[in-house]
Amino acid sequence: MKTKLLLVTLLVPTLSFAQSLERKFEALIRTEKNKPVVTEVVLKDLTSAEAFEGAHFKIVRGKSDEAIKFTDDKALTFRAATTYYHLTKAREYFVNHMKSKHAAAIPQMTIRIDHTNQFSELGHFAHDNMEPQYNNALTVPAGKGLESRGVKPWGTEIWFRPSKKIHVRDLRVNNTANREMQVLMKQFRNQTHMQSLQRFLLTTVLALTEDGVSLDPKESIIRTVGASVIIEVGYQAFDPITKAFSRKWYWLDTAVVPEIIYHEYAHVALSDHLVLSHSTAIIEGMADFFAGQIANSPELAKHIKKYNTYSGKDAERKQDYMIQFEMTEYANTDFVFGMLWSLKEILGEEKGEAFMFDLRKKLTTNSTIRGQLIEGILQTCEESCASPFVDKLRILKALNLRGI
Ligand SMILES: [Zn+2]
């Protein structure tokens, strides 16, 4: 009896401490037409009354362990609120809609915004002098830490880099009349989505200088976020301070781009099978697929359908399968994404979504497109298609058309 009483008295304060709070904030969301707007949103499951810390996410700045305060400067709180809001949406999608036990069991994650350090598997953060990162985001796997160096263990984290503006005059475009972002986008599309948008732009950028150190644009990108077709809708998404769009500047403020936030969270939710050791076309394609599902936007779907190089109607050149797609450098092509998206259309929206979620169980980080991905698609169909024989034939026929 005594122990019971003791337990009760111990539990009471814990429960009241862990109550979840709600609070309204301005954040960036998409309209039905997929246009970015700033509006008031409700942040749920907060456990702190003064900072962006909740049951599932803690939003910090850079290397800090302290959650960003509600009273911090507005540009920072706007980005923290937007990130928190869309992460909550992505989590609810996986936990409630896809019934992911893995996502439901993930303890509070630390989310870093304005974080420029590269990732180090041993030290968590690479040294500050190691090429700071911009216009980018990534999900890092949990680590054991390094006690002898005072590096504490960490859980799975998502890092959003600060944006850095690049003027189009600094882009290496021969024709001066072509120095408009819109024109660059078209050029990019015409070159097919063979590489990520960022890589496309960065390889056209003259050597940037950072603190007097000349950067090789190719090396300054370790990992990029998502396939081009997803990134394209998020490029220069919004400037929360000037509230203006620009046709003259390129930047990617990843912490306020809903699709990028969904893409990164999808990596976390899919990591029960697709371990986050490195980027592959399959891992990126799966994350993009679910980013598209969470966004649930007919406008975005139209854009994906139109321009993806796997099956896009308006893609200048449809891209057949190439062995190179299996390599890390091509992880951000939209080939796999386009493939999964068009398979969903064969299977039907609802069925296709459940299909892709089951598909992850047949895959690992080392799977190849031509090997385990195709095998996994056919096996999943065997288990869940309405008429497996006919459906498998339809799938195979569609894949054959793209050189697989
Ligand atoms: Zn990714």
Could you tell me if 368 and 326 are in contact, meaning their C-beta atoms sit under 8 angstroms apart? Answer: yes
Decide if 255 contacts 60 (C-beta within 8 A): no
Query: Which pLDDT score is estimated for 107?
Result: 96
Instruction: Tell me how far the alpha carbon of residue 209 lies from the centroid of ligand 1, in angstroms.
Output: 26
Distance 176 CA to ligand 1 centre (A): 33
Going from the Cα of 287 to the center of ligand 1, the distance in angstroms, rounded, reads 6
Task: Report the CATH number of the 17-160 domain.
Answer: 3.10.170
For ligand 1, the distance from its centroid to the CA atom of residue 230, given in whole angstroms, is 11
- The answer to whether 332 touches 226, Cβ cutoff 8 Å, is yes
Percent with pLDDT over 70 in the chain: 74
Torsions phi, psi for 318 (to 5 deg): -75, 140
> Residue 254 C-alpha to ligand 1 middle, in angstroms?
12
At 212, is the pLDDT very low, low, confident or very high (cuts 50, 70, 90)? very low
- Identify the weakest region by mean pLDDT among 213-222, 232-241, 312-321: 213-222
Please report where in the chains the tokens 């989590």 appear, as a residue.
91
pLDDT of 210 > 50? The answer is no
Check whether 12 has a pLDDT greater than 50. Answer: no
How many A from CA of 76 to the centre of ligand 1?
24
Q: How many A from CA of 156 to the centre of ligand 1?
A: 14
pLDDT in tens, 84-98: 999 999 999 999 999
Q: Which residues sit opposite 214 in a β-bridge?
A: 209
Could you tell me which residues come within 8 angstroms of residue 234 by beta carbon, excluding any fewer than 6 positions away? 252, 254, 257, 258, 259, 260
Distance CA 379, CA 377 (A): 6
CB-based contacts of 85, cutoff 8 Å, min separation 6: 25, 27, 29, 41, 43
For residue range 165-189, list pLDDT tens digits in order: 777 666 655 555 555 666 666 666 6
With 0-12 CB in 10 A as exposed, 13-18 as middle and 19+ as buried, what is 96? exposed
Q: Please give the distance, rounded to the nearest whole angstrom, from the Cα atom of residue 226 to the centre of ligand 1.
A: 5
β 209-210/213-214 pair status: antiparallel
By CB neighbour count within 10 A (0-12 exposed, 13-18 middle, 19+ buried), where does 392 fall? middle
Q: How far is the CA of 387 from the centre of ligand 1 (A)?
A: 33
| Mean pLDDT value across residues 148-153 | 93
**266 C-alpha to center of ligand 1: Å?**
9
Q: Ligand 1 centroid to 342 CA: how many Å? A: 20
Q: Which two tokens stand for residue 341?
A: 């998206």
What value does the mean pLDDT of the chain take?
Answer: 82
pLDDT category at 321 given cuts 50, 70, 90 is: confident
CB under 5 Å of ion ligand 1: residues: 284, 287
Q: Please give the distance, rounded to the nearest whole angstrom, from the Cα atom of residue 349 to the centre of ligand 1.
A: 23
Residue 140 has pLDDT above 60, yes or no: yes
Instruction: State pLDDT tens for residues 104-132.
Output: 999 999 999 999 998 888 899 999 988 78
For residue 178, the CA-to-ligand 1 centroid distance in Å is 30
- The b/e string for 331-340 (b: 16+ C-beta within 10 A; e otherwise) is bbbbbbbbbb
The lowest-confidence range among 72-86, 152-166, 178-192 is 178-192
Instruction: State in Å: Cα 278 to ligand 1 middle.
Output: 9
Query: For position 156, what pLDDT does the model report?
Result: 96
Distance 313 CA to ligand 1 centre (A): 25
Note whether 354 and 247 are within 8 A (CB). Answer: no
Question: Domains of the chain: which residue ranges?
Answer: 17-160, 166-250+279-401
The highest-confidence range among 56-60, 257-261, 327-331, by mean pLDDT, is 56-60
